[in-house]
Amino acid sequence: MSVPIEVVSTGLRLASSQLNDVTEQADQMIQQFIGQIESLGECWGDDDLGSAMGAIYKAALALVINAITSNLDTLDDYAERLGVAADNYDDADMSAMERMNKLASSGPTLSL
């Protein structure tokens, strides 16, 4: 037997809000980290070896930052979709309730 799933739109909205908050906090931390890294300057020098090290470092850092921001964008999309799912669930629930109320108010229409 399968276990029924209960959908609570307020829970979906809460999860959406919390996920959005976490992604915003993580994004702020990344921006602070980038600021700290940039404030250190380019300590590897400008000779051939230093230039090579700097290029590799910058490429690796960009790759990591892009991966993190891409994941944060994905989480932000999930947060938005949870909110949309909650709205859609409430709309469908309200529509079903309105249909049931119309049926109840129209009375029985049995004809033989």
pLDDT 10s digits, 50-101? 899 999 999 999 999 999 999 999 999 999 999 999 999 999 989 988 888 8
Which pLDDT does position 82 carry in this prediction?
96
pTM of the model: 0.74
At residue 103 the predicted structure's pLDDT band, cuts being 50, 70 and 90, is: confident
Distance CA 71, CA 22 (A): 12
Distance CA 15, CA 82 (A): 7
Better-predicted residue by pLDDT, 89 or 111: 89
What six digits make up the tokens of 32? 């602070």
Query: Cα dihedral sign for 33, 35, 40, 44?
Result: positive
Which pLDDT does position 58 carry in this prediction?
94
